[in-house]
Structure 1
Amino acid sequence: MKWVYIAAGIALFIKILLVPNPTLDSSLPIVDSIVQDSGVPNAVTGIIFRNRLYDTIFEVVVFTIAIMGCYFLLANEKPQSKVYQFTDEPSIVLARLGATISALVGIELAIRGHLSPGGGFAAGVALGTAIGLVAIVSSPEWMQAIYQRWKAATLEKISVLIFVVLSAITLIGIELPHGQLGELFSGGIIPILNILVAIKVGLGSWAAVLIFIRYRGLF
């Protein structure tokens, strides 16, 4: 039987060497076609929030379930009696500086992700990084108080619901005008979806950081 596998492998190797890959019969390159259809210069964002929007919906839902899983996983554990943070002044200054830069980058990626490299997921990761940097030099009680004061858990759920509703409307064929290609207010619904994903990922990361620090400590 192994000779059959060897023969099949040799045949596949010959096919790869000798048979050319099929080419798309189109007057427009693929990237240009995606940009034209989506109305945004960032073709990756066009694919994520238009061509593969159905997949993106479930990616957001999976991230939401992952955050819920963190709560479920640690629900029966005893919180840490003492959480240690970095207390030396250089670490505090560097962490807060890094958090400020990361937060500004996250906001930039969320607002302009449809025009340049970036997008909602990258923006959410940058915002989550900023929150993590603040958490390692701040009191967990203070972080939790801010989280509750701003009702971050509620905002996270609302952002997911709005994202799913707007995505469903887009999938049935109802779209906003694309506007002028390359301008900030362009791309139809894509910039709004970008911002919603950034909010969702950023707030979800905040929740995960808080719960792991509370039950597992910083180190």
Structure 2
Amino acid sequence: MHIISRREWAFLALVFLYSFIPAVVGLIRLPELLGAPAIIPSNPRAVIDPLPITLHILGSSVFCLVGAVQFLPSLRRYRPALHRTLGRIVAAAGCISALTGLWMTVAYAFPDALQGPLLYAGRVTLSLAMVAFIAWAIVAIRSRKVAAHRAAMLRAYAIGQGASTQTALFLCAMAFFDTELQGFARDLLMVGAWTINLAIAELLIRRTFAARTSDAVI
């Protein structure tokens, strides 16, 4: 797409690289969930009830990868029809990702080492918040509140990208402690990753709002 600038291509490459491990690991697990031999270590919860995790992998991959394209100014400016079409796909994928995440949190039996009360509460709260942000984004754009639409989608995207930040933090923790975190420490790291993403999203929203306010004054 020649309308995309080099800076935007660099942004897409960075997001795709950041999303690589959770997206690829999830997609590699799909054949196992469909009955093929396991390529990576088996997940017993997924084998027993493969539907929610299959939908979650597909929804999350589309939301994180296609969703990144939606933030490109060039796409919105020169291909508004494509932006709207992709937006519908991304919104649906995001809701699938969030609702199946909630489904697995409530329905799967996690050992305490992998999910304690903190992580359980965080997953339930953020799954519902992600759906709420997407719903508000749809309402906002239908009311032509573009800034509110973009802010809501950025917050939803920050939640959806939680697995990428969690992966990065887990790799750092394993390098530092030379062991995999479990129990409360694991819960804290998982929730902390979402907190970091949402904090960055709020900074970007405030920075964008401040820049536009400054331009309006000038």
Shorter-chain TM-score above 0.5: no
Is the radius of gyration larger for structure 1 or structure 2?
1
* Higher helix residue share: 2
The normalised TM-score by structure 2 is: 0.30
Q: Which has the higher contact order (CA 8 A, sep 6+)?
A: 1
